[in-house]
Amino acid sequence: MTEERTLILLNEMGDIEISWDPEHDEKMRAVIQKKMEHGVKFFRIKDYIILKKRVYISSPSELKANKISVADEDIEKLFLDGSIRFTRRTDSINGYKVEHVTDPAVAAKSNTVAVRQYKGG
């Protein structure tokens, strides 16, 4: 596997993690740009220490029901066309620092955490 990128989406669909290879950066840049325009904040992970095993799902055929339902059409399309993988970690991340990223091209080439801005009312 090449140098993959990851995105952990928090509180938008439940917490999910996706990963992709560099050849799909431009597709991810477009999705990240769209999410930024809709108020999602991205934070680049620095000093990322991975102390866990990852389990990848790259195709619906790897799922028991052979289908996927994600509350995000853009993410679902990227999965179905093979551009991204869903990732499940068996342990937790051991400490990391983050910095706010406003450039979708930078976010698409990084390991990031994304969170929709909280709204009251």
Residue 40 counted as domain residue = yes
Residue 43 counted as domain residue = yes
Residue 30 counted as domain residue = yes
Strands 85-89 and 16-20 come out as antiparallel
Domain carrying residue 100: 5-51+62-116
CA 78 distance to own-chain centroid = 11
Q: How many domains does the chain have?
A: 1
Residue 105 counted as domain residue = yes
Residue 103 counted as domain residue = yes
Segment 68-111, tens digit of pLDDT? 667 788 888 898 899 998 877 665 555 567 889 999 999 999 88
Q: What is the structure's pLDDT at 50?
A: 54
Residue 57 counted as domain residue = no
Residue 121 counted as domain residue = no
pTM (predicted TM-score): 0.71
Residue 109 counted as domain residue = yes
